[in-house]
Amino acid sequence: MVITKVKNLKGEITVPGDKSISHRGVMFGAISDGVTELTGFLDGADCRSTIGCFRAMGIDINQEGSHVVIHGKGLHGLKKPESILDVGNSGTTTRLISGILSGQSFISTLDGDDSIRKRPMGRIITPLSQMGAYIKSIKDNGCAPLEMGGSSLNAIHYDSPVASAQVKSCVLLAGLYADGITSVTEPVISRNHTELMLSGFGANITSEKLTASIVGQPKLYGQKIAVPGDISSAAYFIAAGLICDNADLLIKNVNTNPTRAGIIEVAKAMGGKIELLNERIVSGEPVADIHVCTSSLHGCEISGDIIPTLIDELPVIAVMAAAADGTTTIKDAAELKVKESDRIATVTENLKNMGCDITATDDGMIINGGNPLHGTKIKTYLDHRIAMSFAIAGLIADGETSFDDEKCCVISYPNFFETLKALS
């Protein structure tokens, strides 16, 4: 795949379904009574991993592209898998399903690819162990493969040291299997899809400021869920529409949940021409069409409470910053180091190779924008968000931008390059 500078970028698109909601729809449907139907499901590798895990535990799941039907068996209806549950590359699958598996009567083992085997799981092992769960890092390194289950759980109040929806969701899902009320308090609020969706399935779950609480042993019932477009996927086209010449894009049906939509606030802070149209609520989530067009961007500081709302978008925000006048400083984002790649290092390396003045810091980066970018061979480190972010950088770079492996985009956006090509 080779990307070259575009002269204009115009059109109307939809992006794949929200990955976070797709994962949760399968999981919650599996442990509910009755049928759950998902439309707009993200048919990507990560979400297929979630389907595969629940099929291995006896759940009948029918999938035809973006339409998925889950025949749930209730809170205690899962059966012991005959082999290791393969989570692939999916950190969301690993951490959320661990909460469910920790409450089962049987012991199961989770494992994934080389990337998953490096990602920190101590952040869920600690609270689950406090709940009385048996959960073990088989290699005793705080990472997958993980073995868990076969013990009773106790409700706890967990003060999470990190603002992580995956950690919060893991503990709340384990709380489904505990007697009493399980609560999680975060330092900063993280995305709240678990709270919104579990409430729709019938759980008694509440949120107050930085604390989410759930009452154990509920009766959950299957739901019909229309999955909106993923703002993390829309982010690449938001950035493209702002930094490319003669650009005018409409991205339809995007999830604009404020716990996820930090990129919209950053785009505005940088002087971007961005507006939300046709705002509405779909299956409990705020949704809108996003209109962007060519803008003169300027640098800004990105730090503090907004970071959890845009953590996955920071690589493409860094590309926006490279195209902007002045300095952009990203702080409080050390979480970037423990994603599919160390995204502080991978973003810095690739932007430097394209001619950007960028410095990595312990918790982010400093980007002095406005210098022309030139094409190079992008090192993706098999990280889908790195590949897609630098495809956008290639749209404004002189020469050719190529990739050592762009196939990793299948994780979250299988048709990314086709969509990009159709606009230019």
- Tell me which residues are annotated as active site: 312
**Regarding beta strands 107-111 and 85-86, do their DSSP bridges make them parallel or antiparallel, or are they unpaired?**
parallel
H/E element, 327: strand 326-330
Range 117-140 burial, b when 16+ CB lie within 10 A, else e: eebebebbbbbbeebebebeeeee
For Cα atoms 180, 75, 67, give the angle at the middle one, nearest 5 degrees.
Answer: 130
What letter does residue 226 receive in the DSSP assignment?
A: E
As a three-state string, the secondary structure of 340-362 is CCCHHHHHHHHHHHCCCEEEEEC
- Three-state DSSP state, 224: strand
Which backbone phi and psi does 237 adopt, to 5 degrees?
Answer: -85, -30
In sequence order, which residues have a C-beta less than 8 Å from that of residue 114 and are 6 or more positions away?
none
**Regarding beta strands 181-185 and 157-159, do their DSSP bridges make them parallel or antiparallel, or are they unpaired?**
parallel
**Regarding beta strands 247-255 and 285-293, do their DSSP bridges make them parallel or antiparallel, or are they unpaired?**
antiparallel
Distance between CA atoms of residues 189 and 195, nearest Å: 12
Number of H helices, E strands in the chain: 12, 25
Distance between CA atoms of residues 55 and 349, nearest Å: 40
Evaluated on CA atoms 140, 50, 192, 291, the torsion sign reads positive
Alpha helices in 213-342 (DSSP H): 231-243, 262-269, 314-323
DSSP string, 59-102: -EEEEETTEEEEEEE-TT-----SS-EE-TT-HHHHHHHHHHHT
Which backbone phi and psi does 231 adopt, to 5 degrees?
Answer: -65, -25
Q: What is the largest CA-CA distance in the chain?
A: 61
